[in-house]
Structure 1
């Protein structure tokens, strides 16, 4: 989890962080932090994509217009009465509370060991050339380790485990988003040429062994380069330390809690979800649009998209969490607040059931973290409330825009040619 979303404006205290307000629109306000997030972290249309004054002003005016549209839509309309919309905003609040808890309770409290920072700094400009291969069981990893200890050549061990093709090679930089185990093994202390590293556990039942073929070092020379590299190293180490503490905190919250799946219901749900999660991002976006703009319930969307009758299992027990039973309907409500996040980005259909279970367990853990954050009063933090308001106003503005386009029969045309409709129908 990145600290950047809410951390940029935070203070080293539990008090309300100070916000700088750019504009006040009715009872709404637009903060500098919200402007930056919307201007820099979202894809902008071609007419305001640059970083010059005019384009920034277009973005600002567009965000002000969004607030005006949200105000015009009002607090009582079919969208705000939509249960899926309410759950979506509740999910954004829970996510923001978790991010604030991470930033305030963990990231800000990290105290780094200067000696360790210096060690990593010395290697932060290094790019390793490595050869590597992976095995998928702890038993196989132990065999690899034993063979290497007896002096068997790296390439031969690779062949012993079915490596019929050329031994894989690649370059690894400290700045690469590598697995934590690989990063620590390569960049915590200097290595020697032809040194063997591993087998390293880099995932569930996945072990990688590395041979160092060589490296190049890129020195930080100027004062600005030295300062930037030092900052990069400290920021990354601080986030690593914070994540470790955060995960230990989450594990303590889950201690004593037992999740038991009803296999029959779970397998039925897998058959419904599998086709959706293996589809393209474009198709997933279409499913999201159906939920909010076409007034289709998740049950209807899932039924239409998968060909399965989810209504038949809505009231069936999906899992037991200690003494509480989650039905499929209860899970769908929680999933609207917190869509399941898979630990593996790419997976086969065969892997999906196990990864789906892990995603549900992670969802449950995040729910307990959000509850802990709310007990600390973090739902009242102004940045948390702004995050919810930002999403609310954005969706209300889209609702108002689509309602207008629908009234003039141009909604479908807008999605085909946005520039034309913007110029002819939406430009005041």
Structure 2
């Protein structure tokens, strides 16, 4: 048997990517906030890092300046990592390759979808006006279209209350008005009503029954019962126009993305083989119960078949067809050679949820192969923005690995921490210094250890400044505005990628 899936594919093609140099020489001078050796930090990069990061953890008087110095320290340590060739580690290379695919897929949607979105002034005005309108409607469900047409004819000849009372046969001791109220919505802002339903209601005259409408697999007759319009001041209109444009943009982006994927994939008529799918899911679930594997699965399966039964079972069906297309078939082996576990999250919460998610993952893997080929044809992977984003993530991962190696070389015990607390260069006031280890509470000890490690990293970064020159445009820093909540300045916002669960933007590590 075959099971149809939503998204489609063409044969896997090799992608040749340029190295993620970041092309920093192409960045205009008036955008550069700081130089760290041959690397730069732009004003926009600082702004995004700050707004999506944890600046409230900075204790200095000038949070922006302290935050920038920490960003510079991370970049200095990362440059030391490049000198040690840490970027050649398999863990770093796998992470970068995963990020590269993810970012190039994003660029496909930027190029083919988002760049084509147009929003007219008329659309914005309509959306703003919707925010000032509340609607109340009545409805009667019908068993089928014929029944709905009969109800409509009755409503044209008699009142809603009377028709509703005739319609309801299981209500006793209720007046016609009480019955009608049962089929009357609350007064609701138009923007909060399902867009599909609004499209049916918006052209109806008051108290006039609609034509039969099939809405969410049910036939209905609708009537607009009440419309309330709130006057808008020029300030309201201007203020709501910004929000309305964002709503329209997001709505169109979702609609156009779905249309783009459908138009791209439909010609290939892709299906999954249900019997093969059902054979591999239990063993894959068992594999994931041991922990999420890194990279692609095929090497793990081929090597692990000698020791674990679930690997043997997956290996045994390696030649079985898993995905059919109009121009070829994907075997189980081919799928697992392509499936990157870092990009498509699978969690063994329950067998049922795992099965549903894996079905979606198959669709996404196959779809993304097609989109990566479209990116190759358009040379989207060579885009400056794509390469810059990949380089930022690579810098972050190289920093983290280098940081761990630096900290591993430290003599780190309670005596060392107390020497740090009580030294002449101690960052703590006199009333905190001069005690024995046992005099401090656990929370204080934790803070001392954290501060000691952070200071060790800052000291290392200072040493690297002797090799990599650092310059900062303080005048530009003073002009950079950053968003923060007026209700709670210490609140932070993080945005994550839906599939990989990775943060949307690499930010300064909150605690070193």
Cα distance in 1 for residues equivalent to 2:279 and 2:79: 43
* Alignment counterpart, residue 237 of structure 1, candidates 213, 234, 248: 248
Shift of 1:212: 7.7
Shift of 1:407: 4.2
Q: Report Cα offsets for 1:46-91 as digits up to 9, x if no partner.
A: 4239xx9822223222222221222112276566331x54343233
Kept in 2: contact 1:132–1:167 (CA 8 A): yes
Change (3 A) 1:112 1:356: same
Where does 1:7-406 land on structure 2 (aligned, <5 Å)? 20-42=31-53, 44=54, 46-48=56-58, 54-74=62-82, 77=85, 80-82=88-90, 85-126=92-133, 143=143, 150-151=150-151, 153=164, 181=196, 199-201=214-216, 220-223=232-235, 225-271=236-282, 291=294, 299=300, 309-310=310-311, 312-314=313-315, 316=318, 317=320, 318-321=322-325, 322-328=327-333, 330-331=335-336, 333-336=338-341, 338-339=343-344, 350=352, 352-406=354-408
Q: Report Cα offsets for 1:131-165 as digits up to 9, x if no partner.
A: 999xxxxxxx98376665554759x89x99xxxxx
Change (3 A) 1:258 1:193: same
Tell me the secondary structure at the aligned position of residue 74 of structure 1: helix
Match of 2:160 in 1: none
Cα distance in 1 for residues equivalent to 2:139 and 2:88: 53
Kept in 1: contact 2:298–2:336 (CA 8 A): no
Kept in 2: contact 1:17–1:382 (CA 8 A): no
Q: Report Cα offsets for 1:259-313 as digits up to 9, x if no partner.
A: 3434454235433565899x9xxxxxx967x859xxx99959xx9xxx9734641
Shift of 1:35: 2.3
Tell me the secondary structure at the aligned position of residue 215 of structure 2: strand
Q: What is the aligned-residue RMSD (CA, Å)?
A: 5.1
Tell me the secondary structure at the aligned position of residue 325 of structure 1: strand
Change (3 A) 1:250 1:53: farther
Change (3 A) 1:129 1:142: closer
Cα distance in 1 for residues equivalent to 2:119 and 2:281: 44
Tell me the secondary structure at the aligned position of residue 388 of structure 1: helix
Cα distance in 2 for residues equivalent to 1:376 and 1:327: 30
Change (3 A) 1:132 1:397: farther
Match of 2:16 in 1: none
Q: Report Cα offsets for 1:206-240 as digits up to 9, x if no partner.
A: 779899887876654253x3223123223332343
Kept in 1: contact 2:78–2:398 (CA 8 A): yes
Kept in 2: contact 1:106–1:242 (CA 8 A): yes
Cα distance in 1 for residues equivalent to 2:392 and 2:257: 26
Q: Report Cα offsets for 1:372-392 as digits up to 9, x if no partner.
A: 123212212211111111111
TM (norm. structure 2) is: 0.55
Change (3 A) 1:78 1:115: closer
The number of aligned residues is: 366
Query: Which structure 1 segments of 5+ residues have no match?
Result: 1-15, 134-140, 161-165, 280-285
User: Is 1:425 aligned to 2:436, yes or no?
Assistant: no
Shift of 1:24: 2.0
Cα distance in 1 for residues equivalent to 2:150 and 2:66: 67
Tell me the secondary structure at the aligned position of residue 34 of structure 2: strand
Kept in 2: contact 1:119–1:189 (CA 8 A): no
Tell me the secondary structure at the aligned position of residue 336 of structure 1: coil
Q: Radius of gyration: which is bigger?
A: 2
Between 380-389 and 362-371, report the one with greater CA deviation.
362-371
Between 333-342 and 241-250, report the one with greater CA deviation.
333-342
Kept in 1: contact 2:81–2:402 (CA 8 A): yes
Cα distance in 2 for residues equivalent to 1:212 and 1:410: 73
Change (3 A) 1:144 1:100: same
